[in-house]
Structure 1
Amino acid sequence: MKKQRWLVLLTLVLAVSFVLAACGSNNNNSAANSGNEGSNTGSSNAGGEEKLAADQTLRINFAADVPTFDPAQAQDNQAHTALNLMYEGLVRVDENSKEVPGVAESWKSDSTGKIYTFQLRKDAKWSNGDPVTANDFVFAWQRVLDPKTQPAPAYAYQLYYLKNAQAYNEGKITDFSQVGVKAVDDYTLEVTLENTTPYFINLTSFYTYFPVHKSVADNDKWATDPSTMITNGPFTLTGLVTGQSMEFTKNPNYWDNKDIKLDKIKATVVNSAATEVLSYQSGELDRAGQPNGNIPADQIPILKDQFKDEFHIDPVASLYYYEFNTKAKPFDNAKIRKAFSMAIDRQSIVDNVTKAGQVPAFGLIPPGINGAEKSFREEYPEDYFKEDVTEAKKLLQEGMAEEGITSLPPITLTYNTDDNHKKIALAVTDMWKKNLGVDVKIENQEWGVFIKNRQSGDYQVARAGWVPDYNDPMTFIDMWTTQSGNNDIKLNDPTYDALVADAYKNSDNKARMEDFRKAEQILIGDQMGIMPIYYYTNPALIKPYLKGVTLDYSGSVDYSRAYLLEH
């Protein structure tokens, strides 16, 4: 019943966005910065007109430092939230989950749906006063795709929708003018796609598509020193103390400055969920909780009772899982990976550890992600595997026999520093000990180090989570292709790659969903490259005077249009 109620709620929240997304490219959702009419920022002044507080300084917490302020290198929720304050793409997504003009004041596509023409607004400026031009987008996108860019952008593949983008990124062609993006003039950008892509307009609101000022070519510190950052969004980064705080200040040169009510956003950087809640309770924070902060799981029942009107839990279409390094012993054996995944009790984890109404996950694609006619999960149930300790023990012995070993090597489960991640890790490793007789060491790592180690393959099992970049199964499926910069499990499966390639170019949406189903079968059913644990919810504490914060279907938060009422 719990799962059924959650699915009903998520379906209602997403009903409007699903219908819009099915209509075409101008109406898809994005995890980058979209809003959700079900988001909750507190109750308004009943029976009276809202009156803004004199001090428009929002106080929030980030659970970790932002690893990078470079849109080309970003790939996590911390950077996501910061970059959506500091930059703006061709479009943004409003509080109703609809694409609205950003730097582009209008756009149109040709009859094939492959060629888009964007007209840029002439009042869009960089924070230093320079105009934002079509050439700034060409420069930024070339920088993402350039094989010489280091580190290699993990999200380069998100631009493979452009004609010849993949060939350029892989060094097969060296002339960027052959890639499907060009500045017709300063305020006209023409984009040519490899294939018709219904959600392309939505993709342009994602941070990998943000423009970058050309001065970065001559400034090595442009993404680390706030005094040298030139951005084009509603806010600029004016303060940065690593491991302690960030400060964002309203950008007077932002074209829509009149609609930005906050003067400052002051963010602490504290990875203790308990400390974050204490700061909220003492009045030092206006909001506490995901995606950038956290709520201690063991405090949720108490907080729900103590803050009845301020505590909110929203279902979100995101996945919490563990990654197996398929190139590291002993997890280069699929049977051993399956044994570990089948030997845990997911319902016990969400009931006794996380305690925020999460739903056990047995697949990759969460409920609420679009399918052909309804949600993908409704069209294709999760039937790839079942929890079965007896079968898990059998598979473990078979896998060890295939490897010619009688005992497993030392195993370490790594997670980024966070109280809740630690509790989940302890619960999972206890289940592995009890059900498989395997001792697994747990190790926490600072966020930046953790991300780098996952990317480089310096791990055996690692905690992970995925927030969709747009509302289509592709955002979950294409990250595991051989060439994907997000393929931390090092999966290399030609059949999987071929299914993704077909889904990219196929205009038949039902056929695309069949490709996704087959790919999910390979990843979860055959390979067990990842161990799904649960689908997220978003628990948060929100002061009743905080308004205008939008939370989309994926759980991503946009503070850019927030404001504070008198209180």
Structure 2
Amino acid sequence: MLDRSNLSAAQDELRAGQIGRRDFIRRAAALGLSASAIAGALAACGGTSTATVPATSGAASTAPSVAPSTAPAGGAATAGTTGAATRTAAASSTASSGGGVAAVPSGGPTKRGGGGNLKILQWQAPTVLNIHFSSGTKDDLVCRIVYEPLVTLDSQANYIPILAAEIPTRENGGLGADGKSVTYKLKKDVKWSDGKPFTADDVIFTWQYVTDKATASTNIANFSTIDTIDRIDDHTVKVNFKDVTPGWYISFGGTDGCIIPKHIFEADKGANAKNSQNNLKPVGTGPYKVADFKPGDAVSFVINENYREPNKPFFDRVDVKGGGDAPSAARAVLQTGDYDYAWNLQVEDTILQSLSQGSKATVQFEGGGGIERLLVNFTDPNKETDGERASLKNPHPFQTDQKVRQAYSLLSDRDSIVKAIYGRTGEAAGNILYDPPQVKSPNSKAEFSPEKANALLDEAGWKKGGDGIREKGGVKMSITLLTTVNGVRQKTQQILKDAYEKAGIKTELRSVDSGVFFSSDTGNPDTAAHFYADLEMYTNYNVLPDPQEYMAGFTGGDQIPQKANQWSGTNYTRWSSPDFDKLYTQAKTELDPQKRNQLFIQMNDLVVNQYVHIPLVNRKTVFARSNALQNINYTLWDVQYWNIANWTKG
């Protein structure tokens, strides 16, 4: 049975910014949630700014597109080059095999060592150094300094081979024509930090270790699509999936796909795994190895002398210090200069601006913070049938009319919300799907026009009465806008209320504690899933490079929360579209990347242009760094230290 108290606790921590979305996925998987259920639980968590960053080690990558199962020939990275990759164009199914391979310089330091100490302030301190037991982004970050995956993705969702020798494609024989297998060729010059060789056995063992239920790994969901792995030779493995899997890279890609050494962990697999001392003393293939670790406080790294790139890394030592809070971390980089880098700065922009005055450091704003949006209820939250409000049996008295929903959008002054509240930490949003870039729709626009909104409402038959409130057939146009208790959201609510009431829509503002709003308590009427309001507002986002699970939250059927399923679905609006469901079903098995991307774009357009979700603000991820630090390449699909081998200081 699902432990709902532990799930609720994890949701609360995600909302409060105490854990990141990657961390939440792990914990939810450990509790036994399926991938779709995890996506739903994330959707209920409304947004938290978490830094799941970088991507591209100064090198370009080789990826085709979001679901590159028919991608062109991938280029092999130069042997022994972290992140150095060859870029292949996003090719159509008619692309010739053996497509263009252009070597790209890897960038970064020209010689190993000599860079002194790199000082990082990570105000949430790490507690474990085994990536497959990570309890949060705080652990992911430091584990990624030691451990490496087979592939990762850059900010444009292009692939970068890390421990893989090349990116698997249809043309080079790496991707199965049926979409049910991927063959990885591994780099041959890689050693673990203790000098032992990295081989196919380590890849196979990692899968066996993580999927052993007794191990209780937090990454089990990412590997659950794998049926078997064949060992072709010392440096080749064939991964066989249980079903067609366009997202073939997820298991061994990014931080969660890091490989661990069989010769170190073999004795600890299963019930003994969590208590292994090796969880605190990692042996990895990355540029650094651990010199000292104080769980919950600090960790120090020195150069891994067995690292495969002789000219890297640059720094002699990396010190990561935990403790404090986001404002103090910002101050330590921006004002005092005691540290070189600070992660996850959930700080008001006015404070960041003040600290940045005359600073020798920079605040960096990147994508991935999530889309703050309005959800429109298609059912009546005030009418009860069989002990259930917002029932599918009771359509909303006026919000099922697209002209009314469009009026809400036209009355939502996104630019004013950004300028007055978010500042540099957000921008006006027109889509609900922004990442990766290949699935961002060019077909939508965020328009503010009270004139058009009023005209639409008039056209729909909603006329202003003597009290200034619109009515039709004896029904007053009166709504409730619900969100969480949060200064930014209360200010946003007020801007929306002012515009709505000028248009004749009486608007009541309600806010509840985030622990209530985002809880899975079936008996609490104030949860986002119950949606006992006309509009509700929070942040949601695409967690993985493949948007399939994210878009599941807009499908009908069991995804619609209702009493019968204990409000467990994630389609809170109760909107049901056969056209959307058809597109979603097609995308699940479409192997052509360009066709699949277009399906996701069409899904986005249906949701946005039918005003089911009204996107307001595309939020940013925020961190600070010394101006002297170079080659820090952010990506949404890996953690911020992913390419620390390339970091230098001028």
Give the match's secondary structure for 1:266. strand
Rounded Cα–Cα distance in structure 2 between residues aligned with 1:464 and 1:225: 38
What letter corresponds to residue 116 of structure 2 in structure 1?
Answer: D
Give the match's secondary structure for 2:274. coil
Match of 2:116 among 36, 48, 55: 55
What letter corresponds to residue 601 of structure 2 in structure 1?
Answer: R
Alignment of 1:64-143 (within 5 A): 64=124, 71=131, 78=138, 80-92=140-152, 99-106=159-166, 108-109=172-173, 112-113=176-177, 114=179, 115-121=181-187, 124-125=190-191, 132-141=198-207
Give how far 1:67 is off.
9.1
Structure 1 residues 433 and 381: alpha-carbon distance in aligned structure 2, compared to 1, 3 A threshold? closer
Match of 2:270 among 213, 217, 242: 217
Rounded Cα–Cα distance in structure 2 between residues aligned with 1:411 and 1:505: 37
Give the match's secondary structure for 1:352. helix
Give per-residue Cα distances to partners, 1:123-164, cap 9 Å, x unaligned: 6455666654434433444566678886885x83x557x5xx
1:353 matched to 2:414: no
Structure 1 residues 65 and 523: alpha-carbon distance in aligned structure 2, compared to 1, 3 A threshold? farther
Give the match's secondary structure for 1:256. coil
Give the match's secondary structure for 2:424. coil
Query: Which residue is 2:604 aligned to?
Result: 520
Q: Is the contact made by 2:479 and 2:508 (CA closer than 8 Å) also made in structure 1? A: no
Query: Which residue is 1:184 aligned to?
Result: 232
Query: Which residue is 1:413 aligned to?
Result: 484
Give the match's secondary structure for 1:441. strand
Give how far 1:298 is off.
1.2
Rounded Cα–Cα distance in structure 2 between residues aligned with 1:272 and 1:134: 41
Give the match's secondary structure for 1:105. coil
Give per-residue Cα distances to partners, 1:542-564, cap 9 Å, x unaligned: 32322232223779633522545
Give how far 1:55 is off.
2.7
Rounded Cα–Cα distance in structure 2 between residues aligned with 1:293 and 1:287: 11
Structure 1 residues 93 and 152: alpha-carbon distance in aligned structure 2, compared to 1, 3 A threshold? closer
Alignment of 1:244-283 (within 5 A): 245-250=297-302, 252=304, 255-256=307-308, 258=310, 259-262=312-315, 263-273=317-327, 276-283=330-337
Q: Is the contact made by 1:353 and 1:424 (CA closer than 8 Å) also made in structure 2? A: yes
Give per-residue Cα distances to partners, 1:261-319, cap 9 Å, x unaligned: 33223133444336523553111221346xx2345311455566634x74365553663
1:424 matched to 2:488: yes
Query: Which residue is 2:510 aligned to?
Result: 440
Match of 2:551 among 477, 483, 486: 477
What letter corresponds to residue 430 of structure 1 in structure 2?
Answer: Q
Q: Is the contact made by 1:549 and 1:561 (CA closer than 8 Å) also made in structure 2? A: no
Give the match's secondary structure for 2:320. strand
Q: Is the contact made by 1:51 and 1:565 (CA closer than 8 Å) also made in structure 2? A: no
Rounded Cα–Cα distance in structure 2 between residues aligned with 1:328 and 1:271: 43
Moved more, 510-519 or 221-230: 221-230
Give how far 1:88 is off.
0.8
Give the match's secondary structure for 1:138. helix
Give how far 1:189 is off.
1.1
Give per-residue Cα distances to partners, 1:42-75, cap 9 Å, x unaligned: xx99xxx99976532322334x466986655769
1:286 matched to 2:361: no
Give the match's secondary structure for 2:238. strand
Rounded Cα–Cα distance in structure 1 between residues aligned with 2:213 and 2:523: 17
Alignment of 1:436-475 (within 5 A): 437-441=507-511, 443=513, 459-460=527-528, 463-464=538-539, 466=541, 469-470=544-545, 474=548
What letter corresponds to residue 345 of structure 1 in structure 2?
Answer: D
Q: Is the contact made by 1:222 and 1:229 (CA closer than 8 Å) also made in structure 2? A: no
Structure 1 residues 278 and 565: alpha-carbon distance in aligned structure 2, compared to 1, 3 A threshold? closer
Give how far 1:356 is off.
1.0
Alignment of 1:159-238 (within 5 A): 165=226, 179-192=227-240, 194-195=243-244, 197=246, 200=248, 204-212=252-260, 213-214=265-266, 215-221=268-274, 227=280, 231-235=284-288, 238=292
Q: Is the contact made by 2:333 and 2:624 (CA closer than 8 Å) also made in structure 1? A: no
Query: Which residue is 1:321 aligned to?
Result: 372
Q: Is the contact made by 1:126 and 1:253 (CA closer than 8 Å) also made in structure 2? A: no
Q: TM-score, length-normalised on structure 1?
A: 0.64
Q: Is the contact made by 2:631 and 2:647 (CA closer than 8 Å) also made in structure 1? A: yes
**Contiguous gaps of at least 5 residues in structure 1:** 1-13, 37-43, 166-178, 415-421
Match of 1:490 among 562, 570, 592: 570
What letter corresponds to residue 490 of structure 1 in structure 2?
Answer: T
Give per-residue Cα distances to partners, 1:169-225, cap 9 Å, x unaligned: xxxxxxxxxx2533335543112455584x745874323333344424233535999
Structure 1 residues 497 and 225: alpha-carbon distance in aligned structure 2, compared to 1, 3 A threshold? farther
RMSD over aligned Cα atoms: 5.8
Give the match's secondary structure for 1:249. strand
**Contiguous gaps of at least 5 residues in structure 2:** 1-57, 77-81, 86-107, 383-388, 463-468, 501-505, 529-535, 560-566
Rounded Cα–Cα distance in structure 1 between residues aligned with 2:609 and 2:136: 27
Moved more, 65-74 or 434-443: 65-74
Give per-residue Cα distances to partners, 1:467-517, cap 9 Å, x unaligned: 6643x6558536767999xx9962397955553341232244554344223
Rounded Cα–Cα distance in structure 1 between residues aligned with 2:154 and 2:432: 27
Structure 1 residues 18 and 322: alpha-carbon distance in aligned structure 2, compared to 1, 3 A threshold? farther
Give the match's secondary structure for 1:239. strand
Give how far 1:427 is off.
1.7
Rounded Cα–Cα distance in structure 1 between residues aligned with 2:212 and 2:607: 29
Structure 1 residues 386 and 152: alpha-carbon distance in aligned structure 2, compared to 1, 3 A threshold? farther
Rounded Cα–Cα distance in structure 2 between residues aligned with 1:128 and 1:452: 46
Number of positions where the alignment pairs a residue of Structure 1 with one of Structure 2: 491
1:550 matched to 2:633: yes
Rounded Cα–Cα distance in structure 2 between residues aligned with 1:311 and 1:433: 36
Rounded Cα–Cα distance in structure 2 between residues aligned with 1:489 and 1:321: 20
Match of 1:296 among 327, 332, 348: 348
Structure 1 residues 386 and 285: alpha-carbon distance in aligned structure 2, compared to 1, 3 A threshold? farther
